[in-house]
Structure 1
Amino acid sequence: MEELAPAAVRDHCVVYAPRIQDLLAREEKVFRIDATTVGVSDFRLISDIVAARPVLASERSVYKPAAGADIHHDSATRTIRALGQDVMAGIHTPPPPAHGLSGAWPDAATTYLREWLFSSDPLPISLLSKRGVTRSNTLSRIVDRAVTVWPGSDLEGRGTALAEQIRGASDTQDRKQAIALYRRATATLCDGVAALAANALWLMGPARPQEGARAELTAALWETLRLLPPAWMLFRKGGDAYTGLHPDIRPEDDLALFPLLMHRDPDHWSDPLEFRPERWAGVADPERTPAFMPFGFDGARCWAKHLVVPLAERLLDIAFDNRLVIHGTPHETHIPLRSLLSVRFEAETGA
C-alpha cells in the first residue's frame, strides 16, 4: 500500500511509489538495495565515487552508443550546440496556443514543448519527436528508416539545427547516429523540462510568483530541483575503482547514487523537507552549493543543464499568463516509479 510522503509542502502532499517511499524512509546514507547494488546518498562519498573514474559510455543517457557504435565527443558537442540554438530560438518565438497545456501533466507539457520547439522540421524528421511515435517501437523503426532514406534535404535551412545534423550526415551510419541523437536530445530535454515545470507548479500551489517576479520564479525552480529533482537517481557500474571508498562496496557491486536523498540531508539543509524558495535568494551559482547536484556530477553533468531552467521559466510564464488551473484532489498527487521523478495531475488553461 502506498503511503503519504513525510513532507507536507505548503499543504501539498505527495504519494510516492512504494519503492521510492522505502528509500525516503531510510536513515543510512550507504545501504544495500539488493545482492549486487549499493545505494549512496552521502555527499562526500558520492563526490569520491564520481571522481574515481571517468563515466563509461554505457552509463551516459543521451550519448550512450547508438546505431552499433560509440558516439564520439565531437558528435555529442555538435548535438548539444544545435539543441542550444533551437531552444534559444524557440524561447524567443511565439509559443503554440495555450490550450495545448490542458490535460494530464507532465505529458501535456511534453507534447507542448515538442510542438513549440521542433514542429518546424520537415516530414518525416518532425515525426521523430512526436509523442505518439516515440511510444511505439514499431512506428519509431518505420520513421527512423524513412528519415535515413529521405531526411528532407530539399527543405534545407527551414527546420531546426538538430534536423540539419541529420541532413548533413556524410553517410548512412552517421545519419543513423544523428537520428538517434535527435530523438534522444529532444526527448530528454522536453521530458525533463515538463517534469520540472509540473513539480514546480505543484509545490508552488496558489502561492505563485507575481507577474514579472523573475527572481522569485527562478528561486522556486531551484528549490524544486532540490526537493523533487526529476533526475533523482544516477547509476554507476561496479569495479575495483570503488572498493577502497567504503567497506560495504565490493568489486561486483553496482552503485545507485541518489540526489533525491542527498538534497534532503539535514546535515546540509535546514528544514530539508520544506519547500522554501527563499533559501536561494542571493545565491549567485546554485550548483556550487554543497550537497546539491540537480544535473548530475562533475565529469558527467547534463550537457543541456544551461537550457533547462530558462525553458522551464518560459513554460511557467505561459501557464501563469493563461491562468492554468490544477484539477483533481487539491492537496494530494502521485509520483510513479519512473526514470524521471514527476507529479501527475490534470490541468486546464483559463484563457
Structure 2
Amino acid sequence: MTADRATVLAPRLEGLLHDHLGQDLFRLEKDTVGVAGPAMTDTLMRSRPAGPAERPTFKPIFGRAVTQPESAAGMRALGQDVRAALSSAQSAAPDLTGRWPRTGHRYLRDLVLGRDPYRLRLLSGRGMQLLPHVTWTSFAAGVAALPQGPARSGISHLAALTTGRSGYRDRRHAMVLYRRLSVPVALLVSTMVTSALWLGAPFDDDTPDEHILLETLRLLPPSWNLLRLASPEYPALDARIRPGDDLLFLNFLSQRDPALWDEPGRFRPDRWQELDPDTHPGYLPFGHVQERCWGRHLAMPLASMLLRQLRESGYTVDPGQRRARVPLDGLLGVSAVSVVRR
C-alpha cells in the first residue's frame, strides 16, 4: 500500500479489526456470531450446503425460486457474452480518465452489454446498488421495456433470456435475474480494479496482473462476509453457537490476520509468487471451497484485461488525491478515486 495514500475504512470495518482480529469465533450481536478462524470456518461451512436464501445471485425473487436449469442457462449466457467481450476488446481502451469505479463500470457495461436495451443495461449500474428503492421502482416501471417477441439479433445472450416472457410476474422475474447476473460483469470488476489502482499504482513493470489482483482481493475483498442462517448443525459443532444464531463468516478479518500473513497490512503482490490462492488458509474472496462464487471465472479475466489496459496506457491515481473511503455498499472497495494518465 503506497505510503502517501490513506485508506479510510468504514467505522464498522475499523471496529471489526480493532475488536476481533485474530479471533476464531465471537459474538457480534445477540443473535449473530462472527467466524474468522480458518479451521472453524472450514468445519462450519462443511457441515451443510448453502440454502436458497443464502445464495446471493440465485436466492428466490419475490418469493419465487430460481430453478437450477434457469441459473445454469444464465451462467452459460453470461459466459458467452464475457468471452465475446474479451476477444473484441482492444489493447487501448477509450479514455478512462475520471472518477472510478464509475468510469470503469460504464466501460465494462458497454463492452459486454452495450447492444442491450438501455433499461436493461441500467439495472447493472452502481446507482441501483446504492439506492435500492430506485432499483425496485425500475423493476416495476421497466417491465414494459423487455422485448416481448422472439430474441432479436444483436442483443447479448443474457438479454435474450428475458425475451418472450408473458405476464408481469414473469417479466419482472427476468429483469431481476438479468441484474443479478450482470452485476459481476461491470460493478464487481470495476470495484476490484479501482481498489487495485488505489492500493498500488503505479506498479512495477515486472509485477504480474494476477498477483496485483490477488493481493487487492486479500485487503479489500468485494465479498467480505458470508451469511449463513441459523441451523441445528452449528450448535452441535461449537457450544458458543446458540440454536437461533446466524453466522457471519468474515474473510475480511482472516485475510488480515497476522497469524496467517506476513506484514498483513501492506500491499505486497510479490507474496503471491509463493502462495496458492486456492489453498492458503483464510483466503476466501470468492467464498469457501465448498461453494465458491461461479462469477470468479468471469470477473478475474475481465479484471486482468482492464488492469492490463490501464497499465499499458499509463493510467494511475491522481497524485493530488491523498485519501479515499471504503464504505459499506454491498461490494467492498475504494470509492471516488480520480484516475489520470501519466
Please state how far the C-alpha of 1:298 moved relative to its aligned partner.
Answer: 3.0
**SS in structure 1 at match of 2:8:** strand
**AA partner of residue 317 (structure 2):** I
2: CA distance, partners of 1:131 / 1:112: 13
**SS in structure 1 at match of 2:332:** coil
Please state how far the C-alpha of 1:302 moved relative to its aligned partner.
Answer: 0.8
**SS in structure 1 at match of 2:252:** helix
2: CA distance, partners of 1:170 / 1:301: 34
After superposition, the C-alpha distances for 1:121-148 in whole angstroms (9 at most, x for unaligned) are 245544443556775242332113331x
- Structure 2 gaps, min length 5: none
Corresponding position of 1:298: 289
Q: Are residues 253 and 68 of structure 1, via their aligned partners in 2, closer, same or farther at CA, if it must alter by over 3 Å?
A: closer
1: CA distance, partners of 2:173 / 2:55: 15
After superposition, the C-alpha distances for 1:63-118 in whole angstroms (9 at most, x for unaligned) are 0111531111121111111111111111121369633x333322222222112210
Is contact 2:100-2:337 (8 Å) kept?
Answer: yes
Corresponding position of 2:7: 14
Is contact 2:148-2:164 (8 Å) kept?
Answer: no
**SS in structure 2 at match of 1:256:** strand
Is contact 1:128-1:143 (8 Å) kept?
Answer: no
Aligned with 1:264 (options 231, 256, 262): 256
Is contact 1:129-1:186 (8 Å) kept?
Answer: yes
Alignment of 1:139-178 (within 5 A): 139-147=138-146, 150-151=147-148, 153=150, 156-167=152-163, 174-178=170-174
Please state how far the C-alpha of 1:201 moved relative to its aligned partner.
Answer: 0.6
**AA partner of residue 14 (structure 1):** T
**AA partner of residue 251 (structure 2):** P
- Structure 1 gaps, min length 5: 1-7
Corresponding position of 2:77: 82
After superposition, the C-alpha distances for 1:181-237 in whole angstroms (9 at most, x for unaligned) are 11111124322111110111111132x142xx5x61111111111121111111111
Q: Which moved more, 1:172-181 or 1:182-191?
A: 172-181
Aligned with 1:98 (options 91, 94, 99): 94
**AA partner of residue 227 (structure 2):** F
Tell me whether 1:309 sits opposite 2:305 in the alignment.
no
Aligned with 1:199 (options 195, 206, 211): 195
Tell me the number of residue pairs that the alignment of Structure 1 and Structure 2 aligns. 335
After superposition, the C-alpha distances for 1:134-166 in whole angstroms (9 at most, x for unaligned) are 75242332113331xx3463x623111101211
**SS in structure 2 at match of 1:297:** coil
Alignment of 1:194-343 (within 5 A): 194-206=190-202, 208-210=203-205, 216-281=208-273, 286-327=277-318, 330-343=321-334
Is contact 1:193-1:311 (8 Å) kept?
Answer: yes
Q: Are residues 90 and 195 of structure 1, via their aligned partners in 2, closer, same or farther at CA, if it must alter by over 3 Å?
A: same
Q: CA RMSD in A?
A: 2.6
Please state how far the C-alpha of 1:41 moved relative to its aligned partner.
Answer: 0.5
Please state how far the C-alpha of 1:325 moved relative to its aligned partner.
Answer: 3.6
Q: Are residues 273 and 178 of structure 1, via their aligned partners in 2, closer, same or farther at CA, if it must alter by over 3 Å?
A: same
1: CA distance, partners of 2:237 / 2:165: 44
Task: Show structure 1 runs of 4+ deviating over 6 A.
Answer: none
Is contact 1:229-1:260 (8 Å) kept?
Answer: yes
Please state how far the C-alpha of 1:175 moved relative to its aligned partner.
Answer: 4.4
Is contact 1:15-1:332 (8 Å) kept?
Answer: yes
Q: Are residues 152 and 123 of structure 1, via their aligned partners in 2, closer, same or farther at CA, if it must alter by over 3 Å?
A: farther
**AA partner of residue 260 (structure 1):** F
1: CA distance, partners of 2:164 / 2:332: 35
Is contact 1:328-1:345 (8 Å) kept?
Answer: no
Tell me whether 1:347 sits opposite 2:302 in the alignment.
no
**AA partner of residue 163 (structure 2):** R
Corresponding position of 1:179: 175
TM-score (norm 2): 0.88
Corresponding position of 2:17: 24
Is contact 1:98-1:319 (8 Å) kept?
Answer: no
**SS in structure 2 at match of 1:90:** helix
2: CA distance, partners of 1:36 / 1:60: 20
2: CA distance, partners of 1:110 / 1:123: 15
2: CA distance, partners of 1:199 / 1:191: 12
**SS in structure 2 at match of 1:287:** coil
Q: Are residues 245 and 258 of structure 1, via their aligned partners in 2, closer, same or farther at CA, if it must alter by over 3 Å?
A: same
